[in-house]
Structures are given as C-alpha cells and as structure tokens.
Structure 1
Amino acid sequence: MSVVGVDFGTLNTVIAVARNRGVDVITNEVSNRATPSLVGFGPKSRYLGEPAKTQEISNLKNTVGSLKRLAGRVLSDPDVQIEQQFVSAPLVDINGQVGAEVTYMGKKEKYTSTQLVSMFLSKVKATASAELKLPVSDMVMSVPAWFTDIQRRALMDAAEIAGLKLLRLMNDTTAAALGYGITKTDLPTGDEKPRRVAFVDIGHTNYSCSIVEFKKGELTVKSTAYDRHFGGRDFDKALVDHFAEEFQTKYKIDIKSNGKAMVRVGAAAEKLKKILSANQQAPLNIESLMNDVDVQSMMKREELEALVEPLLQRAHVPLEQALAEAKLTKEDIDIIELVGGCTRVPALKERIQAFFGKTLSFTLNQDEAIARGCAFSCAILSPVFRVRDFAIHDIVNYPIEFTWEKSPDIPDEDTSLTVFNKGNVMPSTKILTFYRKEAFNLEAKYAKPELLPGKINPWIGQFTVKNVKADSKDDFMICKLKARLNLHGILNVESGYYVEDVEIEEPIPEEKEGEKKDDKKDPDAMDAEPTKTRKVKKQVRKGDLPIISGTSSLDQTKKDAAAEQESAMIMEDKLVADTEEKKNELETYIYEMRNKIDDTYAEFANEDEKTKLKAKLEASEDWLYDEGEDATKAVYVAKMDEIRAVAGPIVQRYFDKLEEERAAQRAIEEAEAQKKREMAEAARAAAMAQEAAAAKDEEMTDADAAKPDEIVEPESK
C-alpha cells in the first residue's frame, strides 16, 4: 500500500513518498524533482507533464496549464479571464464549467477543468507507481487555503476519475507546518507558552501567511491570510512587459502579437529572475525570437526591483491581516519560516524581515516542504505506517450559513443561521434541530460572498429531509441534522434522525453539605433509605431521516463515464508509446545489422547471404523513412521479423561459434580447476605423510629415551 503526498502547484507539482527510512521526494522520468503541471494534446496521444513542457512552444493552442486555478470555476469568472493570459489553449464554457477546446487525434475536443486535472493526476499516479513499484491509490494533496467548497469538490472528483483516493485535501501552509512540527523534539509541553511560527508561502501565483501555534504532538492554525494574485509569475510578467516595450523600440518587433515569442520571452524572463536572485546583473539572449531577429538585453537587480515595486508594496498586507485575525502582534511571533520558490527574491525577503523585525528562518526545503508535509499527513492517516501522533487543528476560512423555508406553523421562526464561523476549528460537526410536520429543504451557502475568490458562486448545497410527519397528536417531529465540515474542508449534511421527548426518572444527586452530614450516619441506616428521584424529560432517538443531497460534486454516472474515457485515453497513450518504442527498435536493429554484417558477422555469411541481407536492410530503411513513418505497432514488429528471418541463420552461426568457444573455454577452465584440485589433493596427502613420519620419529625418540642405561661389568680374572 502506497503513502504519497502531492504538492499540486500552478507551475510544477512535487511528489513525496513515505518509506521506512522517512519521506523522499521522487524524480520523474527525466530525473527532475518537480513535474510541470501541464496537459497537451497531439495527433496521436496526449502529453502529460514533462512531454507537455517539451512540445509546449510547438503546440501552444493544444497545451493547457493553470490546471489548479481553473478547477471549480466558470468561464465568466474574472479570475478565469486573468488565467487566460497564462493559458495558451482557448478556454470555453462546458455546461457551466470552464474547460479548454483542443485538437486531439485530428478532432476538435472540449474537456472540462475537472477532466484536465484528472488527466494530470493520472500522470502523478503513474510517476509514483513507477518509483514505488507498487500500485498507488491513497494520496494527500495540497490546496491553497482560499479554495472554496466547489473547488475542493472538483479536485476530489478529478482524483476519483484518475483512480485515486484522496485521504485529505490539505491547506498549503498547514502541510508546511506539519512537516516543520512533526520532526521537532523540543516543542513546548503542558502549560508552557506555545511556540508561534509564521509560515510565509510565496509560490508561482499565490502568497499565503499562516500563524501556527505548536505544542508537543499538535499544531493549531490561528489564522491564514493570502493574496491570490502575488507570485513568481507576476514578477515574470513585469519582466516580459518591460522587454516587449524594449524590443519594440530596439528591434521593431511586437512580441505580444506572437504567442510563441511570448512563451520564449517568458521562459527567458523566469531564468533571468532566478539569476538575479544570486547576482547583481544578468544578460538575456534569445536567438531568432521572431522574424529571424536575435535579441539581447541586460538587466540589473535594481532595475528588476523598480519594475516590481508595485508588487513589493503589497508584501506586508497578508502578514498584517494574519496577525490581526490571530489577535497577535509581531513581538508574539517566535519564528518566521519561509517556503515557496518566490521567497528567494532578495527584495521580498528584505520586506518580510523588515516587517517582522526578526531574522527569517529557512529550515524547510522551499520547493519541497509542502509535498513532504502532505506525505507525513498521508502516513498518519494510512494504516501501513506507524507515525508519531500529531494532531492538526486547521480553521474555517469563510463563514458558512444554512437557510431554510419558514414553517407555516411557526410564523416567527428564523430562517437562517451561521453554523460555521470564520476561524472555527476544522474538521467540525454541528447538530441542527428543526421542528417540522412535513418534509423540508435547507440550503448551505457562504455567508459573506464578498470574501470569496473571484466571482465564485456562494452556494454550497441543498439538502432535502424526507419522511417527516406529525405525530398522532398532530405535534411537531423533532428533527436532528448532523452537519459536518470534514478534513477536506467540504461541507455535507451527513445524517438525520428524529427524537421524542420521553419522561424518565433519574436519581437526584445529593448536595455537598448533605453528603458531609450523611458521612456521620450509620451505613446500614443509609442503605435503608430510599433513593430520591425526579422526573425529567429527555430526547430519545427514535429513527433515521433520509436526506437527499444536491451539491456541486459530479454525480456517480458522470464520474464513471469520465473514468472510462480516461482509461481509454491512457491505453491509447500506452499504445502510441509502445509503437514509438517498436519503431525505434526497428531503426536501431537496421543500423546495428548494417554495421555488423561486414564486421562481427563477416566470417559467418557467404557473399550471397550478405548481399541479400544488405538489400533487405536498405529496403526496410527506405520504407521506415517513407510510408513507414506512421505505421502501427504490429507492422513494425512484422518488419523486424522479416529482417530476422534473413539474418537469423548468420546470427545463429555466430552464436553457435560463441557457444563452442565458451564450451571450449569452460572445458579448459574445468581441466585447470581439476588439475588445481589434484595438485591441492597431492599436496595435502604429502603434508599428511610428512606429518605422520614426523610423528613416528618422535615416538621412536621417546622410546629410546625410556630405555635404562646398560652397566658393563669388568671380566673376572
């Protein structure tokens, strides 16, 4: 079972996996630690991730980016109109949801933002599976804290279409906070003052600041503030606009009239910005930008900072807002932790440090901290890993209210109630009580639409409560509804039931003074006294009430159809990849055989066989670069088999000769080994004989030493 965390970014996506030795960020098929968040469409297959980035300039109108920021949106949303500046494919309306119109396999096709996200998540799933060598299903994914219910549901639907189970949609800064806190062993405990950390996350498009309190084994988000249109791409855009004006004057070319030129200048501007983060000045050179014109320029860091000064002047706003909502001052913050690629910009770091008046901290990996935090969260939620318990208390970012129809029997009834206030802990459950004699509807929506991003519909869902009826005395049914804002930040009315007031007797708890007096009584006398009781009314659950929910989530039929379409497209992509592989194999085989026929295989073929094989190779090569340029997988395999049929006998003789040589070599090696064994055996036998002889000599010496000295007596005369 897999444990995967995904930082789904506007520009790039980072994937982290939990393993026995910890959390690792994995690389994709070209060994990059971040995968471009792009989906492209071609004449034969799709391009997902790296391949989409490779063909982006040559296939602009069929490449879609900003996937995350399109999810759950409508075409008329002003935020979507901003995104169209950064998405080269045309955006269109598809049944009330924004999507893209592209040319795929020679036909004009329209795909909703949910489908486009699901396509990219299929790529994420495949990348993680290839690394882990396991099927991937469970995943935790990050989202900006300002995402609404409809946007979160769109991502949940996209994940389900891609065959993934999202265990949690986690706010970006909360994920970074978890990655920070779970590895710390010195967090305050008990009644100690909590450690307060400001997490400042500035990525490609979004600037967020969360104030988080840490204690041993838990984190509590106190506030989150954000600027949804402040990030790396805004710095890039300022540079592109500057160079567009410069090139218009200097080279008389209008890059804004040429999509490819704009993308190339955008890529060069991004690279220039990164160089200027570490250097005082940097050049920009682009060959044949448009109309065969080469462009050159030079930029100093001071010039870049002057260009983005309007942005830098907004840098303090989310910080002030986060402190105000947390009811804290700058002095209350212990650590300011920065994450996100854009926090490398020196001018930004200076503004943030000047605001807090404290040294900034960079203990987390700026590009990978959020993905790691998501992987930790996935490990906590997964039964596979044993992870140190760490509680996460996130907050509600927008107030949510319920409205309902007024009951004709209760003329002065309120018809709305704010159930989840901004700043409430999430996940959270509330029980709503209604007095009704018939089925009724209630609606959930955001209480302050002006706080929502762009022009997102504040409506969340409608819920119809069934099987409500008056009792035998024509009295109200007391209906209880369980409303839950779950750990994804998604609202549902999970269940309903009705209760009845029942009169029951319960013992009266004795007063404390009475208890003191009773202590002096005889225990037997106390037992003899009857227990005092009182009658009270209590609500007892009597049965369930079915609830019909209507939300922005796709219905199961649509999800199943989209999943089936996605599976078919995956198979098509795989077939195209396999076909390309077979084509490359055939090309490689032709070149390999041509080189070997006059070299390696020369002595194993007669002239007639050589001529025949060369003719076959030449014919196959001519076919491959002519009509065989766009053949099927089966045709490439058949062509390979044709060449092998001609070359087979020659290659077989070569391998037979190799086998003979190997057999002869093995025989020589075996003989040598046998000779060595015999010599070793002989040496061992000689040594043993020598040892035996030495032992015998020693015995004889011992025996001689044991004989008594002979006494020679003189002869008698």
Structure 2
Amino acid sequence: MSVVGIDFGNKFFKIAGLRNGSVETLLFNQSNRKSPGIISFLNKRYVGLDAQNFVRNNLDSSVGNLKQLIYSINNDLKFENIFKDYQKENLLNIDDQEYSIYQIFSTVIKKLLDASIGRTPNDLVISIPSFFTIYEHDIIYQALEIINVTNPMIISEEVAVSLNYGYYKALLKEFENPETVLFINIGSTSTQAFITEFSNDKLKIVRSSGSITIGGDHFDKRIFDMINKKIYQKYNININMNSKYAYTLLKECEKAKQVLSSNLEANLVFDYTPEDILIQEKITLKEFNQLTDSLSIEILSVINSCIENYDLDKLTKVELIGGSMRIPKIKDGIKERLKMEPRYSLNADECVAKGSVLYGALNSCSVKIKDYALENVINSNITLKIGEKIIKITEDNLELPSTKLVKCKINTKLVKPQIEILMNNNLYSIYELEIDELNDSKIEIKLKIDVNRIIRIEKIKIEIEKEIKELKEISFIRLGELDQNLKNLIIENEAKIVEKERLLDECDDLKNSIEEKFYLLSELIVTDPSFQTYLSPDELAKLEVQLLKAEELFSEDTNVDSIIEYRETLESFKYVFSEINFRKITYQKVPIQLDIMEKETGKLEEKIKGLQNEQEIREKMTELEDWLKKKKEIMKDINLFESPPFSETNLKNEYTKLYKNVESLIPQITGNAENL
C-alpha cells in the first residue's frame, strides 16, 4: 500500500489507504474501522483499541485529546479533560518515566500503522485541524522523524473533506455547473465551518471560520453535570471525586446525546460499585435542549462568522460531518438560518482519512492519479515585524498556495536580529537570523503560504558588505524548533523504551506459552499413560516441582529481569514433550522396524547364496548381520525410563547404508561368475 492517510482525531483515529487504484478504509487489528484516541502507559505503551482495555482504571497514566494537547503547548487553551491535565507541557512525566510530546505522537502513529498495515508506507499523510500553526505542524514533522518516516505530508481537515467530497465527482465530470458547499464539522472539542467551490478542474476553499472552544464534548459535559447533580441529591455521591466512575458516566452521557438525536429521552445506567448502587437516570430531549442552548448558539455563531457578507444564493448544499452533527437543535438552527436542509452524504468517520489519501496520491512521486487543483483563500492580516519595522504581507482573500517576496531596508541597529510573523496582530512564529547584528541593511525575505494555510520563511538574503551592494543568503532558525541535541536524546530515550517493550512482549509471549504448557502437562500427567510408562519416578517428581514453579511465574506480573527464567522454564517443558514423544515412538516402532529389517536381511542372504566364495560380499553381509544382532540385543535389555540410544530415523539410515553396501556388489559379482 503506497499511500496512507491518518485522521488524527481527538476521540478516534481513522486510517485509509490507496489499494489497486481505489481509496479504502483500513481496519485496525483486522476488525475495527476506528480506534479510540488514547495512549495508556502501563508496563508498556498501548494505543487505541489496545489502550481502551486499560484506560478506565489508569486515567492518570493515560493521555487523550492529543490534538488539543499538541495545540495547548504553544497556546493559551483550556479544555475539559477527564485525563490528567498535561496542558502547556512539552515533557510529560508518567509513572516516573519522562515522555516528550514528540515521543507520544510518534508512538501513536507507529502503533496505528502496525495495527493496520504492519509497516511504514511510501507516502504518509496526516490530517490536522485548520487552527494548527507552524508550531504544531513542525511538532508532527519532528515526531515522525523519530520513527524514520521520511517526507510525510500534512493536510488540513478542510482540504481533506473537500477533496473527499469533490475529487471523484470531478473525475466523473459531475460538476457541469460550479457547485458551492458549506461544510460544518462539529468535532469533539472544536467546530469548523468552511465554504468550498467545486468544478471539474479544481476546488477552492473561499471561506473558513472555526472555534477551538466548542464541540461535542461540551454537550456531554452539560449532561454529566446535570446527572451528577441528581446522583448527589439522591445518594450524596459526587461522581467527580472518583475519576474512574466519572469516565464511565461521561461515556454514558455521550451515548445519551447520540440517543437523543432520534429519540425524546435517553436512559443512563451504570454500576457504582464502591456503594453497591445501580444508578439509573434519564434525560429528555427538552432538558437536553435547555442545558445546551448556549452551546448551540456558539456553534451557530461559527457558521454565521463563516457566511458573513457571503451571497447565500451561491450555496447549493450544506453538508454536516463530525461526531455531534445530528444534534436536533443544531440541525434546526442551520435549517432556519440557511433555508436549506442539511445533508449527510459524507461518511463522517471516513471522509478526512480518505481525503488525506487523495491528497497524498496527488502529491506522490510513486503514484499517478488525475490532477485536481487545490486552492484556498486566507482572509487573515499577515505582517512581518523586524525591529520596529512592520511590513504588511497579505490583503483580503489572498489565494493559496502563494509565495511572497518582501524587500525592505532596516535603518536601525538590531543585535541578534529576529523576524516575527504576525497573524491578525497575534504572534504566529519567530525566526532568528544567524548573524550578530543587522544595521542599515537591505533585506529580502521569501515567504511561502501553502494550501493548508501554513506560513513559513523559505529564504532570507541581506546586504552584508555595503561596498559590494550584493544580497547574500544567510542562515536562520525558527524559534521553537526541536534542538538537534534534544532530538538525539529523545531518539536515544525512545530506543531504550522500544527495547524494553520488545523484551516485555517476549516475556508475555513466553509466559503465555508456559501457562499453556503448564495446563497441558498437568492434565497429561494424570490422563496419559505415556507419562507413567516413559518417565521415571525421579523425572516425574522433578516435573511436578517445575510445574509449581511455572505456576508462580505466569501468575506474577511480567518482569523483564526474569526473562532468562521464562526461557529456561519453557525449554524444560518443551524438552519433556519432545523426550516423551521420542521415547514413545522409538520404543513402539523400533522393534517393529528391526523385525522388518531381519526379514529383508534374510531375503538378501538368499540372493547371495551362489556367491559363497566371494570374500568381499561375505564381509559386507557379516557386517550387516552383526549390526542387526547388536541392535536387537540393545532393545531387549532397554530401560523405558532412559532416553533411547538411537532413533527410528537413525536406525533406518544406518541399515539402509549397510544393506546397499551388500546389494551394490551383487550385479558385478554375478556377472563375473557367469563369465567364469
């Protein structure tokens, strides 16, 4: 599979790939189309479906809402988080082990790929929300370097959704007339609205608006607060005081929200085992609408911001996607505001991942599909600041991708000069020039804004020598980039963790094999007569001691330090099985084989009766007969508790060799006799 796209969602991870020319959703562990957006740290790291089995009892050792976590490192963002709050932290301390955000992200991607395609694809595409800046963008790039993913591509969710909607329609020439679609993506912790114009040659995102403070989780939390209040009034229990049951209730609230999308009421039922109480509550659609009225208004305000001053007559469709797209009040509000029925033609679970694959195929060196132009528009005010000098870069409705060349003269002395990029007067990124000072110099800056609205400086030239009047390219760094020394430490730390996890996996496999053979041996000692027939009393006693020791081993927590003991125990069990099988086969079949050999030897004796005077053939025949006699004597006095002195195979090979030594001489000698 050459191109793979990952929808890196807050709640769930989804993955798709290009196979035989078509884009397909891939399964995790061969069974699930989406994997929970969780990583849990226990004796090793578990991601997605594997983490789901542990997370409820290990919330303090688990990390969720990864997209929001990455964004929070460089931004003032607060969000509801049932997991331990790691916001604003680049280095997370979990159970006395430090993990950088780069390690966490790279671990998630690696394990998702292992669970879906089992390897790293040629072209990997990761989707990001449109509010990600260059900082989050580069965190992803640098994290992927840790697991040796080269040249990954990153795509905004807006472009991915638009591509998934329009590419195949354009391929089939379905856009006879341009089509304009308003997409509304209500995610778990954020909401995006954007307008895309489609034709058979290209798509163009012309409007975009979003909020990072409103999403489906906020609706769940409102239900949670109401139900928790009822529980407190009835039982004097505050569920918030127990994170495990708070997590359980929050999951029930999410289910209730989904039920209320098509029903007038929803039931919430779960066991609160600390008090041995079965909690049963319900919420009506009317109560839900009252609780979440302000949230619905917030989401509608995102939509209003997107369509402000836009000619709504141009809109041909409204498409809803996201986990909370079917909330009745939001649907009704959209319908009333736009005088248009919202549609659900896109598969909300798959559209971002599939669009990411199409983006990868369009930009791949190894795959060729029909070209389809992607354009975007940025309405933000972008400026450069160098010392006190401010340079305006963009105007309204700048079409993307775009490259800007900025030339200016710096009239003041700047020590350790920096260039700041500002978006709507907010700091976007800072670049530091690798020169001591900038003084009365001309400067030329090449700025690139890609279709995903990521802004970066590609090249800087300055006038270094005034006499020559020539602009020369200089080096620069973006502040916030991962330092190479720190990167090396992270890679080294990651290698140690990976090796430890490999050993743990081996230990778990060994323990499982030991447990399997323990129960099998324990049963066979009683039920299989072979154990009593072919094992001596001392061997049986030793085996019973080994079984007791093995039971302790597989009942205890996995310990890497015990790996040699695991290996030795498993090998000892394997030896018992192979030795009994060897003795059983040998002692049952060898006597039969010896009888057959004796008959064959007798036949051979008949063949050489007329050749008694030939010394060589008689010597070979005597050698065969002596060998056979010796083997029969050994078997007559054998102790079944001892390991056989020879195997059935060796016996056959030796006999065949001796037999052929005799047989090979018969034609030659017979010929000589006839001549005489």
TM-score, normalising length from structure 1?
0.74
Task: Give, in angstroms, the shift of residue 605 of structure 1.
Answer: 3.6
Report 1:498-647 matches (<5 A).
544-599=472-527, 602=530, 605-606=533-534, 608=536, 611-612=540-541, 615-616=544-545, 618-624=547-553, 630=559, 632-647=562-577
Task: Give, in angstroms, the shift of residue 343 of structure 1.
Answer: 0.8
Aligned to 1:173: 158
Task: Give, in angstroms, the shift of residue 9 of structure 1.
Answer: 0.9
What are the ranges of 5 or more consecutive residues in structure 2 without an aligned counterpart?
A: 594-676
Matched, 1:375 2:303: no
Aligned to 1:412: none
Q: Residues 252 and 601 of structure 1: is their aligned pair in 2 closer, same or farther, counting only changes over 3 Å?
A: same
Distance between the aligned counterparts of 2:584 and 2:333, measured in 1?
73
- Give the partner amino acid of 1:119: T
Distance between the aligned counterparts of 2:437 and 2:471, measured in 1?
11
Task: Give, in angstroms, the shift of residue 316 of structure 1.
Answer: 1.9
- Give the partner amino acid of 1:494: E
Distance between the aligned counterparts of 1:659 and 1:157, measured in 2?
65
Contact 1:6 1:15 in 2 (8 A): yes
Matched, 1:86 2:74: no
Distance between the aligned counterparts of 2:587 and 2:262, measured in 1?
62
Q: Secondary structure of 2:141's match? A: helix
Task: Give, in angstroms, the shift of residue 234 of structure 1.
Answer: 1.0
Aligned to 1:102: 94
Task: Give, in angstroms, the shift of residue 541 of structure 1.
Answer: 11
Report 1:215-226 matches (<5 A).
215-226=199-210
Q: 2:283 aligns with which of 299, 313, 316?
A: 299
Q: Residues 604 and 215 of structure 1: is their aligned pair in 2 closer, same or farther, counting only changes over 3 Å?
A: farther
Contact 1:5 1:372 in 2 (8 A): yes
Contact 2:405 2:445 in 1 (8 A): yes
Report 1:302-321 matches (<5 A).
302-321=286-305
Distance between the aligned counterparts of 2:310 and 2:512, measured in 1?
64
Q: State the Cα deviation string for residues 642-695 of structure 1 (Å, max 9, x = none).
A: 1222332222356679999xx9xxxxxxxxxxxxxxxxxxxxxxxxxxxxxxxx
Task: Give, in angstroms, the shift of residue 369 of structure 1.
Answer: 0.4
Distance between the aligned counterparts of 1:316 and 1:658, measured in 2?
84
Contact 1:439 1:465 in 2 (8 A): no
Matched, 1:461 2:430: yes
- Give the partner amino acid of 1:88: F
Q: CA RMSD in A?
A: 3.3
- Give the partner amino acid of 1:638: E
Distance between the aligned counterparts of 2:353 and 2:360, measured in 1?
11
Distance between the aligned counterparts of 1:622 and 1:150, measured in 2?
52
Matched, 1:141 2:133: no
Task: Give, in angstroms, the shift of residue 542 of structure 1.
Answer: 6.2
Q: Secondary structure of 1:362's match? A: coil
Task: Give, in angstroms, the shift of residue 198 of structure 1.
Answer: 0.8
Aligned to 2:421: 445
Matched, 1:111 2:41: no
Distance between the aligned counterparts of 2:210 and 2:8, measured in 1?
18
Aligned to 1:504: none
Contact 1:601 1:651 in 2 (8 A): no
Aligned to 1:12: 12
Distance between the aligned counterparts of 1:659 and 1:390, measured in 2?
73
- Give the partner amino acid of 2:375: H
Contact 1:613 1:647 in 2 (8 A): no
- Give the partner amino acid of 1:102: I
Distance between the aligned counterparts of 2:394 and 2:333, measured in 1?
35
Q: Secondary structure of 1:27's match? A: coil
Task: Give, in angstroms, the shift of residue 489 of structure 1.
Answer: 3.7
Distance between the aligned counterparts of 1:198 and 1:488, measured in 2?
18
- Give the partner amino acid of 2:94: V
- Give the partner amino acid of 2:403: T
Task: Give, in angstroms, the shift of residue 246 of structure 1.
Answer: 0.5
Q: Residues 596 and 196 of structure 1: is their aligned pair in 2 closer, same or farther, counting only changes over 3 Å?
A: same
Distance between the aligned counterparts of 1:349 and 1:604, measured in 2?
75
Distance between the aligned counterparts of 2:264 and 2:406, measured in 1?
61
**Structure index of larger Rg:** 1
Q: State the Cα deviation string for residues 299-325 of structure 1 (Å, max 9, x = none).
A: 33333223222212233212221112x
Contact 2:130 2:452 in 1 (8 A): no
Q: Residues 638 and 323 of structure 1: is their aligned pair in 2 closer, same or farther, counting only changes over 3 Å?
A: same
Q: Secondary structure of 2:29's match? A: coil
Contact 2:73 2:87 in 1 (8 A): no
Distance between the aligned counterparts of 1:636 and 1:577, measured in 2?
12
Q: 2:135 aligns with which of 150, 161, 167?
A: 150
Distance between the aligned counterparts of 2:481 and 2:570, measured in 1?
50
TM-score, normalising length from structure 2?
0.78
Contact 1:482 1:495 in 2 (8 A): yes
Contact 2:159 2:452 in 1 (8 A): no
Q: Residues 65 and 434 of structure 1: is their aligned pair in 2 closer, same or farther, counting only changes over 3 Å?
A: same
Q: Secondary structure of 1:169's match? A: strand
Distance between the aligned counterparts of 2:217 and 2:384, measured in 1?
38
Q: State the Cα deviation string for residues 421-457 of structure 1 (Å, max 9, x = none).
A: 464233321111134699964512224246xxxxxxx
Contact 1:206 1:228 in 2 (8 A): yes
Q: Residues 491 and 607 of structure 1: is their aligned pair in 2 closer, same or farther, counting only changes over 3 Å?
A: closer
Distance between the aligned counterparts of 1:597 and 1:603, measured in 2?
6
Contact 1:604 1:653 in 2 (8 A): no
Aligned to 1:184: 169
Q: Secondary structure of 1:136's match? A: coil
Task: Give, in angstroms, the shift of residue 552 of structure 1.
Answer: 1.9
Distance between the aligned counterparts of 1:600 and 1:347, measured in 2?
70
Aligned to 1:707: none
Task: Give, in angstroms, the shift of residue 5 of structure 1.
Answer: 0.7
- Give the partner amino acid of 2:429: I
Aligned to 1:493: 457
